[in-house]
A = this chain, B = another copy of it.
């Protein structure tokens, strides 16, 4: 088996995390997993949704979008069509749910962290890149909140990263790019914390069911990948910007 990119089965694509990518957001990151490029911003917005008002806690919510020509052929613009597609909705719910596990909402005050992940170039793995990049944006936004005295203690509970794994031509591989993803037998997205805790696992058989053994092999690759991503996140956060 030869991966289209020539990578080893357990090899991530080149990962790049650029902080302060745009100037307005409290946290703003361009994350690149190879040719997949996503702008992740974390906005600090005073107030919480109605169901949380008066409970002295904060909220985190996420939205996801793709520029119409981030993909090989142009997709219709969701704003023009008047609704978000099902795939968009599913992905942004995953992003929000995962990232809430990184934050202690009770320490945020009555503020909302509004995460936006906008794909400017897609080549597979946009949801895992989004989660990985958005976590860095959140770290920056929370640092801003702490500096401004908006939080109680430290709302950042743990580091979170995400990667995809799959079975490509019978072989478990890490971090699928688009040519792999569109031909994979099985595709699994894993979100984990830096201490090895599992936040979310979503595994899908594209056609034939997969076996428990395949699951185990894929999961082992995911752990490797996430450890590496955690390291790159920390490096990004400790670098000067």
Contact = CB atoms under 8 A, between A and B. Distances in A.
A106 B121 CA distance: 32
A211 B97 CA distance: 18
B205 A70 contact: no
Given A43-B74, A89-B86, A90-B90, A69 B209 contact: no
Contacts of A192: 209
Nearest to A204: B200
A234 interface: no
A209 B197 CA distance: 5
A1 interface: no
Contacts of A182: none
Nearest to A212: B198
Given A93-B86, A97-B204, A116 B77 contact: yes
Contacts of A126: none
Nearest to A63: B77
Contacts of A79: 65, 77-79, 83-84, 88
B39 A74 contact: no
A201 interface: yes
A53 to B, nearest CB: 16
Nearest to A209: B197
Given A63-B80, A79-B84, A89-B89, A121 B205 contact: no
Contacts of A89: 86, 89-90
A24 B43 CA distance: 29
B68 A120 contact: no
A111 interface: no
Interface in A181-236: 188, 192-193, 195-205, 207-212, 215, 219
Contact of A200 (B41, B77, B203): B203
B74 A68 contact: no
Contact of A205 (B65, B101, B215): B101
Given A79-B79, A90-B90, A69 B24 contact: yes
A210 B101 CA distance: 11
Contacts of A204: 97, 199-200
Contacts of A107: none
Question: What 6 A-B pairs come out closest when comparing CB atoms?
Answer: A197-B209, A78-B79, A41-B69, A43-B74, A201-B203, A79-B79
